[in-house]
Chains A and B, each alone.
Chain A
Amino acid sequence: MAPAVKAGVWLAFVAAGLSTAAARADLADVERRDELRWGGDLQGGEPYVFEDEEQPGVLKGFEVDIAEALARELGVRPKLIQNDWSNLVPALERGDFDVILNGLEETPERRQRIRLSAPYYTYGETLTVRAGATYEDLKQLEGKRVGSLNQTVASDILKASHAELVLYEGQQEPYLDLAKGRTEAVLLDHVIADRYGCVLPELRCLPGDVARGHYVLGVRQDSPALARAIDGALEKLSRTGELKGILTRWKLWDARQPPLQGASEPPVVAEPKAAAPPSVEAPVARRFTVGHAVLFLRGAWVTLLISALSFALASPLGMALATLRLYAGRAGRWFAAAYVELFRGTPLLLQLYVLYFGIADLVRLSPLTAAVLGLALNYGAYEAEVYRGALSSVPPGQTEAARALGLSFWQALRHVVFPQALRTALPAVTNDFVALLKDSSLISVITVVELTKRMTILAVELRDWITPGLMCAALYFLMSFPLARLARRIERRLEPSAAAADGAAT
């Protein structure tokens, strides 16, 4: 074969490979799936994306409307993938959804990491202080505590200023803390400030924007065609006035909105000037409905399911590790000890991140699989120590007696040592299961909406932490308490009865 032909064949292979790889994540895939999966966080609440108070489970918000319009332009259906806001970019990169559409601010750093669409909204950074305070701009807040949200442009501005940055995860808490005097000011997008801050009587929003910037969609680097299609669709929505219609309907259209031209600049610090008159009211506090209760129960079910599955794996894993550590050769003992120290010595949160994001290029685990696996691997280490202690507590004479009866080493372990060790381990094991039930709330960082996440979403929606908090606590208690009771009963049944021994003839 001539070298040129060879090279040609080689190139064709590479091209085929590239196009397949691209199609996997790009527009063609969205079309094949007939679904535009967009990542957002329900905890962001009104007006971005939130659940309908009348019909929990039904989505509302200006970004829901934009997603619908965009999907319609692409000829597919929109589907929200719930994801913690602060993890939207890594989750996009690992392919959990096709685009980010959730108040994602345009920044040079983000543009280097992922593709950013044309803007769909211009926001201003609003500085909010207590009504009686005399602060007039950010400079006067030098050395003072100023609240903001993690991963936002507002938090970047504060980092660059001389104020002390206090980070929050939800958009209501910064204002509640400000009103209580825990901070001196809050810097956040006007969309949030207008609804959650300026409406509180204790607070005052300073006129003029500290900075302005744009909300954009995020698209993976390997999806150029999807990015182009999104930009095309946005341009059309803007040109036909549909975007303006959506923004107006959500009381978001204001003087900040330029005739969106597609070209955009990074956020710039603007001169203070008269802000648009606040045209919005605070979102009405909602009532807790039956629908909410159903969502809560669903969250509890997810928590219970994941806890049960992961513990069902962690238990045998711990038993195997303990057996290795006590009875295996040097390599096995070393492995078991290293495993326990590694998984016990690093945070569960970190392990979940590694499983879900860290190894996503090698193994693409679904959120549920990663959650179950992460909890199982972590708790396996703790169970290993529980079982090691329990196995060691069985007197060596018991193994010897079993061996003297002709049982092999493994038969002696299985029939004599393990059953006694299990009985000893039961209280600690039950304790660990209850701990796992509660630790499972950590899995919300890898997009699983379990009980605690459901509670925080609802608390933002209801403007109330007490009712959802109590309900959440009650559900955890209802799951853990019967379990503890059951374990106690089993324990009592397994215990050799002391009373009977005392009463026995001598």
Chain B
Amino acid sequence: MSQPIVHLSGVGKRFGARHVLRGVDAEVRAGTIVSLVGASGSGKTTLLRCLNGLEAIDAGRIVISGHVIEPSPSDDALTRLRADVGMVFQDYQLFPHLSVLENLCLAPQVVRKYSRAAAEKRAHALLDAVGLADRHRSKPTELSGGQKQRVALARALAQDVKVLLLDEPTSALDARTRDDIVRILRELVQRGAEPLTLVLVTHDLPLAETLSDEVWTLVEGRIAHPGGSAA
């Protein structure tokens, strides 16, 4: 069995007086797909955001791909963390002033200091993998929802991340497009030289069960059945 790539112990987070996470303990093994499910307000999106440092945790400790996230991380630590942990937002948040290709190349060039040629070569390969090789010149506003989702996926992967976090990856898509995304996600996990680990938040229980190796159900800020399947 592979090593745990995400390790959570006693992770707590509150917004004002409201405790959203109340001591989460869990592990994710490298190369697996984990789905976070639970009612609205159960804290699943907050937990996902904590894994990427978009929310600071108040208590406990997260170790993810070798990076330790503590309650007040430095900017440098966050930058290093995010080079290994990518994120796909529910509303994609593509950069509307940049073309599809430029969306993919921005972080590799600015953060990783890749040459333009190297960044573009990698971007073209990723666009090819998500089936959008011919749309690299398009602006995000010219794309359909499913195409935007695929660009967002490719953008998050452009930096050779080890862990990919996805917030409701299929919520805005119709059934056929959703199947496309599921197929692409599976391929992504399987095809890389290094194992890619996916953690996704979803409302879609059938998706969680067909796609994931593990399903975690969050209830009142804790994981109800770590390692088990959703009820």
Contact = CB atoms under 8 A, between A and B. Distances in A.
A407 interface: yes
Contact of B110 (A404, A411, A498): A411
B169 interface: no
Interface residues of A, number: 29
Given A398-B93, A496-B140, A406 B82 contact: yes
A408 B75 contact: yes
B107 A405 contact: yes
Contacts, number: 86
B118 interface: no
Nearest to A501: B141
Interface residues of B, number: 33
B23 interface: no
A1 interface: no
A317 B159 CA distance: 36
Interface in B144-197: 144-145, 147, 155-156, 159
Contact of A401 (B95, B141, B159): B95
A405 B142 contact: no
A94 interface: no
A506 B79 CA distance: 35
Contacts of B159: 405-406
Interface stretch (A83-91, A119-127, A416-424): A416-424
Interface string A359-400: 000000000000000000000000000000000000101101
B148 to A, nearest CB: 10
Given A397-B93, A400-B54, A506-B145, A497 B139 contact: yes
A405 B158 CA distance: 9
B106 A406 contact: no
Nearest to B89: A401
A359 to B, nearest CB: 41
Contacts of A407: 106-107, 110-111
Given A404-B82, A505-B144, A496 B110 contact: no
A47 to B, nearest CB: 63
A408 B95 CA distance: 16
Given A403-B54, A404-B52, A496 B141 contact: yes
Contacts of B144: 504-506
Contacts of B78: 403
A276 interface: no
Given A400-B54, A496-B139, A496-B141, A405 B96 contact: no
A503 B107 CA distance: 29
Interface centre among B89, B95, B147, B159 (most CB of A within 10 A): B95
Given A397-B91, A419-B97, A504 B111 contact: no
B103 to A, nearest CB: 10
A423 B143 CA distance: 21
B11 interface: no
B150 to A, nearest CB: 12
A409 interface: yes
A408 B156 CA distance: 16
A494 interface: yes
Contacts of A504: 142-144, 147
Contacts of A415: 106, 110
A500 B147 CA distance: 14
Given A416-B95, A497-B141, A506-B144, A405 B111 contact: yes
Given A406-B82, A497-B139, A505-B147, 13 more contacts: A402-B107, A404-B52, A404-B82, A407-B106, A420-B95, A423-B97, A496-B139, A496-B140, A497-B141, A500-B138, A500-B141, A504-B143, A505-B144
Nearest 9 A-B pairs (CB), nearest first?
A401-B93, A496-B141, A405-B107, A406-B82, A404-B87, A406-B111, A500-B142, A501-B141, A506-B144
26 contacts: A397-B89, A397-B93, A400-B54, A400-B93, A401-B89, A402-B95, A402-B106, A403-B54, A404-B52, A405-B86, A405-B155, A405-B156, A407-B106, A407-B111, A411-B111, A415-B106, A494-B97, A496-B96, A496-B97, A497-B139, A497-B142, A500-B141, A500-B142, A501-B142, A506-B144, A506-B145
